């Protein structure tokens, strides 16, 4: 489901620099990043919470999310032509398949998920357990909710 029309990837400057470094790392391996979601206005967070009231996947609006700080990004790997690589689940699949330890899938999808994580972690991001596609800037706490 699409919650807002703006297709720009907005992030804090420091977070954006880390994302660029992660992409450069992957380019050297023949891949690149495709971003699905980055900064998210709090107004959108409220709407999303109405659809998915599950704190494993959506932060409640009264607490706000790291997306609302401009320091989180949802993304995947693509080849150099922009074709999606196989992953354990689709984006925003709020099931067991989304978890970073889910292994009842192809070896190729696990390999791709872990390559994505390696690139992001080496460049200043942290994973969360419930979503293979979500990464937080490890310095997110220095940013306020926008």
- What positions carry a catalytic annotation? 131
Backbone CA torsion sign across 28, 73, 134, 51: negative
* Residue 107: both structure tokens together: 């070896």
CA distance 27 to 7: 22
Q: Tell how many helices (H) and how many strands (E) occur in the chain.
A: 3, 4
DSSP reduced 3-state for 137:
strand
92: left (phi over 0), alpha (psi -120 to 50) or beta: left
CA distance 48 to 64: 12
Question: Tokens 């990043």 sit at which residue?
Answer: 33
């Amino acid at each position: 489901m699409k919650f807002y029309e703006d297709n720009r990837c907005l992030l804090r400057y420091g977070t954006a620099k880390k994302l660029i470094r992660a992409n450069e790392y992957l380019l050297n391996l023949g891949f690149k990043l495709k971003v699905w979601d980055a900064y998210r206005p709090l107004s959108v967070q409220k709407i999303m919470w109405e659809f998915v009231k599950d704190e494993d996947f959506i932060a409640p609006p009264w607490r706000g999310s790291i997306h609302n700080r401009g320091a989180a990004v949802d993304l995947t790997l693509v080849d150099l032509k922009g074709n999606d690589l196989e992953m354990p689940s689709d984006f925003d699949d709020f099931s067991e398949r989304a978890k970073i330890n889910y292994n009842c899938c192809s070896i190729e999808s696990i390999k791709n998920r872990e390559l994505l994580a390696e690139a992001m972690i080496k460049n200043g991001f942290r994973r969360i357990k419930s979503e293979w596609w979500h990464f937080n800037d490890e310095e997110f706490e220095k940013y306020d909710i926008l």
